[in-house]
Amino acid sequence: ENWPEIKGEISFNNISFYYTAEEKVLENFNLKVNTGETIALVGQTGSGKSTIVNILCRFYEPVSGEVLIDGIDYRQRSQLWLHENIGYVLQTPHLFSGTIRENICYGKLDASDEEIIAAAKLVNAHQFIKKLAKGYDTEVGEGGGLLSTGQKQLISFARAVIANPKIFVLDEATSSIDTEMEQIIQEAIKNVLKGRTNFIIAHRLSTIRAADRILVIKKGKTIEEGSHKEL
Ligand code: ATP
Ligand code: MG
């Protein structure tokens, strides 16, 4: 498969979606995201933010409407293509039992040591990893249970960006972490956003501020839109 390198422009065109027949979660949702733009989605619980992101990552497909990436319906591409071009971090990052190296590599199976370390450095994870007795060969335990919540988040960031995707999706975690780790994560997010089209479900004020456009979502619709200053 030799598709042209992607730029990272995204369009949701008249997307409707429901998990069950009883509730339409999205109805004719429209959004155009320019290459390199950072979008933050905010809104109450259950408003449909994660659903929008799930559709963008094609964990679910729209019931009707289309998602275009660089003007092409993503259903004309393969899941592998999407995996390579969209890096994502979900609300509760899931690590596999295995080593830190294996967990980062999941984002790019043939990654070299240099690429793994570069990704870990970009997301501020290298500092804590190199202090571990076994470094990148440390077992993370089932579901990453041997790492702290913040450390798990950093590893999942490294996994998301190791293939240098043009599109980055973050469903920001709400878990409370100590101030020092909070600082480290904020800086990691800042680094990760550079040079990509970003789609963030934002809880941190610092992430909301980093967005070019903030959309307030209610019942699957954008009810307000603007920059942090405007809203
Ligand atoms: P939160 O801020 O709590 O993460 P959200 O804005 O991300 O909320 P969604 O998870 O997109 O909201 O949920 C939108 C609606 O879809 C809610 O009514 C939710 O109950 C429903 N929903 C979400 N996931 C599923 C699912 N897997 N099966 C059935 N209904 C679901
Ligand atoms: Mg959600």
Judge if pTM exceeds 0.90: yes
- Ligand 1 pocket check for 46: Cβ under 6 Å: yes
Closest Cα partner for 76 from 60, 89, 64, 58?
58
**Dihedral angle computed from the Cα positions of residues 107, 109, 114 and 118, in that order, rounded to the nearest 10 degrees:** 0
- Interface pTM (ipTM) of the complex? 0.98
Cα 201 to ligand 2 centre (Å)? 8
SS3 199: strand
Cα 46 to ligand 2 centre (Å)? 7
SS3 101: helix
**d(Cα 10, Cα 1) in Å, to the nearest integer?**
21
For the chain, list the domains and their CATH numbers: 10-226 (3.40.50.300)
User: Of the residues 20, 41, 50, 55, which should be mutated to test ligand 1's pocket, given the most ligand atoms within 8 Å of the CB?
Assistant: 50
**d(Cα 153, Cα 90) in Å, to the nearest integer?**
9
Tens place of pLDDT per residue across the chain (231 aa): 678 889 999 999 999 999 998 999 999 999 999 999 999 999 999 999 999 999 999 999 999 999 999 999 999 999 989 988 999 998 888 899 999 999 999 878 899 999 999 999 999 999 999 999 999 999 999 989 999 999 999 999 999 999 999 999 999 988 778 999 999 999 999 999 999 999 999 988 889 999 999 999 999 999 999 998 888
